[in-house]
Amino acid sequence: MNDILQEMKELLEKKECLKEERKKWNEKKKREEKKQKKIEQEKRQQEDEEKQKLEDEEKR
pLDDT digit string, tens, across residues 3-53 = 999 999 999 999 999 999 999 999 999 999 999 999 999 999 999 999 999
Count of domains observed in the chain: 1
- Give this prediction's pTM: 0.64
3-state secondary structure 1-60: CHHHHHHHHHHHHHHHHHHHHHHHHHHHHHHHHHHHHHHHHHHHHHHHHHHHHHHHHHHC
Range of the domain at 35: 1-59
Tell me how far apart the alpha carbons of residues 5 and 13 are, in angstroms, rounded to a whole number.
12
pLDDT in tens, 22-32: 999 999 999 99
